[in-house]
Amino acid sequence: MFKKILIANRGEIALRVICACREMGIKTVAVFSEADEHSLHVRFADEAVCIGPARSAESYLHVPAIISAAEITGADAIHPGYGFLSESAYLAEVCEACHIKFIGPSPAVIRLMGEKSRARRAMKKAGVVTLPGSDGPVETEEEARTIAAALGFPVIIKASNGGGGRGMRIVRNADELSQALRTAQREAQAAFGIGDVYLEKYLEAPRHIEMQILGDEHGNVVHLGERECSVQRRHQKLIEEAPSAVISEKQRAALGTMVVEAARAVGYSSAGTFEFLMDAQDNLYFIEANTRLQVEHGVTELITGIDIVKEQIRVASGAVLSFTQDEVTFSGHAIECRINAENPVTFAPSPGRVDAFSLPGGPGIRVDTFVHAEATVPPNYDSLIAKIMSYGRTREEAIARMRRALEMTVIEGIHTSVPMHLKILAEVDFQQARISTAFMDRFLPPSPAA
């Protein structure tokens, strides 16, 4: 087992990894930017190294600084969390060269899944049903026209190397196609450094369903069931739950078997998520795989009792998965609300100093956060400040607990998305699980682009 793990991240996920390491008796090294000097992840890690200024490119995304910090402190592994360098095949390769274990899949698997159009092809080959679309990057207008005609409008143009809900453009008719293709290629180049884009059939108001998997380095892969993340704003998840109210046990087993086989086919180890969209006829189509821990992994932990981060660390050290598929059982229902530092009406970021802070406990509530009274939320990073999770024997109980927890949440000094979550949970459609990626439209002014 590892003796010391460096956490190449910040915020709640850095603390989440520290929790796992403490329980496993592993020492931790925090890295931090100048904006995070007083953060809790710095306080609770055994050692901490400042790796640069507030700007992510010069700190949390700066591979040489992170590797130097690992070498100076003698860390034998790096946990990348989510976001930042978590899906960087380059960091995984540098780690390999420096004999530091990267806690994630192999660089080859990260690279394959990171190029979404290639991942689609590989998954199709491995027997996974993908959303109809192009078989690789689309370069010319002519190609795009032929494919779009075959798919039928609307279609969506997506950046091959995109992520975080960015780099997507919906095209509703042939007249818009050439302009949209050129713009999408330009935007992809600017945002992700690679201009490749591909085409997919655009589904109106689908449900987002994803499967959590875990694999070890000995060819064992299991699934931990699905999560539903249909409540989104601009393709970014706001509320996640497990299980999905619309997936039957039979569907879960079938989807699970399909992703486990596909993961095995590409030599997948560590935690991963296969994302699907469900159409109005309940068909599920693969859209992408994420080769890292997800923000929403906690809801799966609540219904399976499995600590995904500890298991991720165990398998990275070469251990065999500590359970088999038959030993994975599901019980109850869990919901997560992402609490962002933002205006609940306009969604504008709301960084700053927190004056008062009290988060609820009580039966069935888990809170993962880096915020405390008098903490400062820097303007430089993602606006996620806390994840409130609720657990109940039924979906109704989980909702009731979440509503009570949100009502008892006190965060002053900055705006948060708590009031917005309360509005969502009060909707009958949400309560009756009539949700889709279009659910949030009722609260939002029409968005100008995709």
Nearer to ligand ADP, 56 or 437 (CB): 437
382 binds ligand ADP (CB under 6 A): no
Q: Are 241 and 334 in contact (CB under 8 A)?
A: yes
**Dihedral (Cα; 191, 195, 198, 203), 10-degree rounding:** 20
300 binds ligand ADP (CB under 6 A): no
437 binds ligand ADP (CB under 6 A): yes
User: Tokens 């469900």, residue?
Assistant: 278
Decide: residue 83, CB within 10 A, 0-12 exposed, 13-18 middle, 19+ buried.
buried
* Interface with ligand ADP (CB under 6 A), residue from 156, 180, 313, 424: 156
Q: What tokens does 124 get?
A: 């199709």
Helix (H) or strand (E) run with residue 95 in it = helix 89-97
110 Cβ partners below 8 Å, 6+ apart? 87, 88, 89, 92, 104, 291
* Interface with ligand ADP (CB under 6 A), residue from 65, 67, 138, 203: 203
**Residue from 266, 284, 287 nearest 215 by CA:** 266
**Cβ at position 285, least distance to ligand ADP in Å:** 8
Number of residues that bind ligand ADP (CB under 6 A): 20
235 binds ligand ADP (CB under 6 A): yes
Nearer to ligand ADP, 134 or 350 (CB): 134
Decide: residue 319, CB within 10 A, 0-12 exposed, 13-18 middle, 19+ buried.
middle
**Residue from 382, 234, 212, 407 nearest 298 by CA:** 212
Q: Are 272 and 176 in contact (CB under 8 A)?
A: no
Nearer to ligand ADP, 198 or 357 (CB): 198
83 binds ligand ADP (CB under 6 A): no
Q: Is omega for the bond preceding 379 within 30 degrees of 0, making it cis?
A: no
* Interface with ligand ADP (CB under 6 A), residue from 9, 59, 232, 312: 232
**Interface map 107-146 toward ligand ADP (x if CB under 6 A):** ------------------------x---------------
287 binds ligand ADP (CB under 6 A): yes
Nearer to ligand ADP, 191 or 359 (CB): 191
DSSP for residue 324: -
Alpha-carbon gap, residue 364 to 217, rounded angstroms: 34
Nearer to ligand ADP, 12 or 87 (CB): 87
| H-assigned helices in 201-248 | none
Catalytic-role residue among 292, 314, 338, 395: 292
**Cβ at position 21, least distance to ligand ADP in Å:** 28
Alpha-carbon gap, residue 177 to 184, rounded angstroms: 10
202 binds ligand ADP (CB under 6 A): yes
162 binds ligand ADP (CB under 6 A): yes
200 binds ligand ADP (CB under 6 A): yes
SS3 state at 45: coil
187 Cβ partners below 8 Å, 6+ apart? 159, 167, 169
**Cβ at position 179, least distance to ligand ADP in Å:** 19
Alpha-carbon gap, residue 448 to 450, rounded angstroms: 7
* Interface with ligand ADP (CB under 6 A), residue from 81, 195, 206, 298: 206
Nearer to ligand ADP, 95 or 159 (CB): 159
**Cβ at position 203, least distance to ligand ADP in Å:** 4
289 binds ligand ADP (CB under 6 A): no
279 binds ligand ADP (CB under 6 A): no
Query: Is 353 noted as a catalytic residue in this protein?
Result: no
Nearer to ligand ADP, 114 or 413 (CB): 114
84 binds ligand ADP (CB under 6 A): no
Residues that bind ligand ADP (CB under 6 A): 131, 156, 162-166, 200-203, 206, 208, 232, 235, 275, 277, 287-288, 437
Hey, which residues are catalytic here? 292
